[in-house]
Amino acid sequence: MPVKTGILITAGVAVFALGVATIVTLANATVGGEPVAVGDRATPTHSGVPTATVAPYVAPTAAQVAALPAAKYDAVIPGLMAYAAVTTPEEATTAYTLNFDTAIYGADHSEAVARFDAINFLGEKSVVVPIAFSGSWALVLTPARQALPSATGSAPAQTVGWVRTERLTEDHPLTQRINVSVKDQTLTIVDATGAKTASFSVGVGTPSTPTPTAVTGYIQARYLDPAQGQRTYPIQLSSLHSATADEPYGGSDGGLIGLHYFSASNGAVSHGCIRLPHEAITAVNRLPVGTLISITD
Amino acid sequence: MSILLLVGPLSVQFAAHAANPVAPNLGTAATYSVLGGQTVTNTGASTLSGDLGVNPGTAITGFPPGIVGGATHAGDAPALQAQSDLTIAYDAARLSPSTANVSGDLVGRTLTAGVYTSASDLQLSGTLTLDGQNDPDAVFIFQTTSALTTASASNVNVINGAQACNVFWQVGSSATLGTASAFRGTIMALTSISVQTGAVIKGRTLARNGQVSLDTNTFVTPNCGTSDVLPTPKLPEAPATPALRLPIVSG
């Protein structure tokens, strides 16, 4: 059952509610398929023409939030928005946690489409990375898919949705990020100024099982898993998914893109994951959960 | 005057080394780890080294998963005979001449052979030590007209040759052995006996009229002349948490 905040059309009222009228612009980014600009918040307009006003936000009840689909790594939630960008979102400087399970809204903030659980599959606090703010709203990267590649031929590798800022608790700064070049088969760690601090040769996806590109996600969790041959170096689970196959490696977990240790970590060799030598996985493992990962061709 | 001086110390000496009581004869009930009047119930993986029986009731539940090392007699003639013998033993214990009165909590006490009588509930919140004073035949009889209750992790300990085979608890109502407690001796209760989770007993729980309930207990038959080592009381392990299902990355 979608949760509506309600939109009222009020003729003759020429004032957008501050914050809701704010246009979040993301340079070189698309949200929901539409190009948007980054960083600036538009000044509220006073055009004098009839326009829309948005009813005051009414928080959903806990039961309503619980009824929403969890934006988990293996979920497919059409109401989420696609996100594609490879430049640093200016406001992605801090990782947050959630004080409660939280409703995620679509583009107009009116309809809750998913739930961001405060506790993740590891039993740890979910780390949330906003890439933009608009008044009392934060646009956050989510771990879920919007669509399956099998349905459309290709699908967004990353999704976003809006959450209320009062649900966020500041956790830790994000001072470094990861850039992966598929063409160069390199992983580079850069600081907040963009200066390179480390770089490594890595393995990337094969042509038939490519690593998604032109996209930014984040490290959502890390864990050892002997079942996947990872007893020493934790798997760095990103929020990204294969854009070309539902499950390039089989299974049912959503074509997850991980950064993980692999002894043969050079070339176009993987099912989409980034395969790292031990010095690279060691360096990445030192970065906090929430660190952004941008992948380019 | 000199006689009085002599008698005083002798009286004290007599109290410390009372004549060894006569152990009640359990008859055929001696082969039982557990004997109930109406029912015997069990939860979990209890282990009985001796027999299991009930009479006049016939209901025994929980075996398996409980394991009986001896025979099981549900309302049959051997169980009837065992109950009859239990009654005789119960009365013998009840009528044994008292050595000393005790009451309340026996924790911290060290008692030598004797008949200890309580007109009210007997409790044990910690360790009670029974000292055989190097006499392997030292007999300990506890009489209570009321209930016997031991606390979680409490312990009836024996030292200096005392043996669980010679320890008897005559309980005028019901007995409860606490969770993960270690108990020695034969309980002969008029009504019922509840043995809580994980308790270990070197002895017997024999109830004349009511129920005996067990929960993941270990019973060791208290044969005289055998090792007095008791298994360590252990609570059953909590159900295993389902293995965490970790996301499988694309590799």
> Would an 8 Å CB–CB cutoff place A28 in contact with chain B?
no
| C-alpha to C-alpha distance for B201 and B214, rounded to whole angstroms | 11
CB contact under 8 A, B250 and A273: yes
**Do residue B247 and residue A271 have CB atoms under 8 angstroms apart?**
no
Q: Do B249 and A223 touch (CB under 8 A)?
A: no
Nearest CA-CA partner of A176 in A239, A279, A95, A73: A95
Confidence class for position B245, pLDDT limits 50, 70, 90: confident
Q: Do A73 and B247 touch (CB under 8 A)?
A: yes
Interface of B with A in 220-249 (CB under 8 A): 244-249
Task: Give CA A248 to chain center in angstroms.
Answer: 20
Token output for B109: 């006490």
Question: Is the per-residue pLDDT at A36 higher than 90?
Answer: no
Cβ of A235 within 8 Å of Cβ of B249? The answer is yes
* Cβ-contact B246, A230 below 8 angstroms: no
Q: In the structure encoding, which two tokens stand for residue B146, read together?
A: 């009321």
**Are the C-beta atoms of residues A265 and A275 closer than 8 Å to each other?**
yes
Q: pLDDT tens for residues B136-146?
A: 999 999 999 99
Amino acid at B8: G
- Assign B233 a pLDDT band (cuts: 50, 70, 90): confident
Nearest CA of chain B to the CA of A233: how many Å? 14
Yes or no, beta carbons of A253 and B251 under 8 Å apart: no
For chain A, say whether B250 makes contact (Cβ under 8 Å). Answer: yes
Cα dihedral sign, A246-A238-A223-A209: positive
- Give the residue among A99, A184, A94 at the shortest CA–CA distance from A133: A94
pLDDT in tens, B85-116: 999 999 999 999 999 999 899 999 999 999 99
pLDDT of residue A88: 72
pLDDT digits (tens, 9 = 90+) for A38-65: 333 333 333 334 445 557 889 999 999 9
**Is B10 in CB contact (< 8 Å) with chain A?**
no
Cα angle vertex B7, ends B2, B11, to 5°?
A: 160
> Are A258 and A235 in contact, with CB atoms under 8 Å apart?
yes
Residue B241's pLDDT is: 57
Instruction: Give the end-to-end CA distance of chain A in Å, rounded to a whole number.
Output: 40
Cα–Cα distance, B186 to B222 (Å, whole number): 8
Interface test mutation site (partner B, options A202, A241, A253, A265, max chain B beta carbons within 10 A):
A253
Token pair of A235, please? Answer: 């798997």
Residue type, B234: K
> What sign has the CA pseudo-torsion B3, B4, B10, B15?
positive
Q: What is the mean pLDDT of residues A105-123?
A: 95
Hey, of A72, A228, A262, which one would you mutate to test binding to chain B, going by the most B CBs within 10 A of its CB?
A228
Q: Do B247 and A255 touch (CB under 8 A)?
A: no
CA distance to partner chain B, nearest, from residue A276 (Å)? 11
| Cα A164–chain centre separation | 16
Task: Return the higher-pLDDT residue of A28 and B3.
Answer: A28
Contact: A248, B250; criterion CB under 8 Å: yes
Backbone Cα Rg of chain B? 20
Cross-chain residue pair A228–B246, CB shorter than 8 Å: yes
Set of chain A residues whose Cβ sits within 8 Å of the Cβ of B245: 121
- Provide the terminal-to-terminal Cα distance of chain B, rounded to the nearest Å: 101
Residues of A in contact with B247 (CB under 8 A): 73-74, 121, 237, 253-254, 256
What's the pLDDT at B232? 75
- A126 to chain B, closest Cα gap in Å: 15
| DSSP 8-class letter at B17 | T
pLDDT value at position B5?
A: 37
Mean pLDDT of A97-116: 95
Q: Is B251 on the interface with A (CB under 8 A)?
A: yes
Where does the pLDDT of residue B238 fall: very low under 50, low under 70, confident under 90, or very high at 90 and above? low
Low-confidence winner among A130-134, B8-12, B32-36, B182-186 (lowest mean pLDDT): B8-12
pLDDT band at residue A37 under the 50/70/90 scheme: very low
| B145-167: pLDDT as tens digits | 999 999 988 999 999 999 999 99
Strand positions, DSSP E, B5-151: 32-36, 39-43, 47-48, 51-54, 59-61, 67-68, 72-74, 100-101, 104-105, 110-112, 114-118, 122-124, 127-131, 140-144, 148-150
Instruction: Pick the residue of A219, A222, A237 with the most B CBs within 10 A to test the interface with B by mutation.
Output: A237
What CA–CA distances, in Å, run from B70 to B25, B51, B165, B166, B197? 20, 4, 18, 21, 22
Hey, what are A92's tokens?
């992605």
pLDDT confidence of residue A30: 66
By Cβ distance, the residue of B247, B249, B250 closest to A121 is: B247
Assign A29 a pLDDT band (cuts: 50, 70, 90): low
Chain B CB within 8 Å of residue A260 CB: yes
A121: which chain B residues are within 8 Å (Cβ-Cβ)? 244-247
Distance CA B76, CA B56 (A): 8
> What would the mean pLDDT of B218-236 be, rounded to a whole number?
80
Return the HEC string of A157-216. CCEEEEEEHHHEEEEEECCEEEEEECCCCEEEEEECCCCEEEEEECEEECCCCCCCCCEE
- Look at the block and give the residue holding tokens 């006490």: B109
Closest approach of A47 to chain B, Cα-based (Å): 51
Tokens 């109290």 sit on residue = B15
Q: How many CB pairs under 8 A join A and B?
A: 54
Indicate whether B174 pLDDT > 50.
Answer: yes
pLDDT band at B2 (very low <50, low <70, confident <90, very high): very low
Contact A271 B250 (CB under 8 A): yes
Contact A228/B245, CB-based, under 8 Å? no
Residue in this structure with the two tokens 């090392």, named with its chain if needed: B69
Looking at residue A53, its pLDDT comes to 56
Question: Chain A contacts of B242, Cβ < 8 Å?
Answer: none
Tokens of A5: 């905040």
A249 contacts B249? CB cut-off 8 A: yes
Cβ-defined contact of A256 to B245 (cutoff 8 Å): no
pTM higher than 0.80: no
DSSP state of B22: P
Residue A179 has pLDDT above 70, yes or no: yes
- Determine, for residues B251 and A273 on separate chains, whether the beta-carbon distance falls below 8 Å: yes
pLDDT of residue B236: 62
Would strands A176-181 and A102-105 be described as parallel, antiparallel, or unpaired? unpaired
Give Cβ neighbours of residue B213 (< 8 Å, ≥ 6 apart). B40, B41, B42, B192, B193, B194, B195
Q: How many CA atoms lie within 13 A of A278 on its CB side?
A: 4
- Mean of the per-residue pLDDT values for chain B? 88
Please say if the pLDDT value at position B40 is more than 70. Answer: yes
Using the Cα atoms of residue B221, residue B223, residue B227 and residue B229 in order, give the sign of their dihedral: positive
Dist CA B196 CA B184 (whole Å): 15
Q: What percent of chain B lies above the pLDDT cut of 90?
A: 79
Write down the pLDDT at residue A251. 85
Q: State the pLDDT at residue A185.
A: 98
Say if CB A26 and CB A129 are below 8 A apart.
no
- CA-based nearest distance B238→chain A, Å: 19
Please work out, in degrees rounded to the nearest 5, the angle formed at the alpha carbon of residue A131 by the alpha carbons of A127 and A137.
90
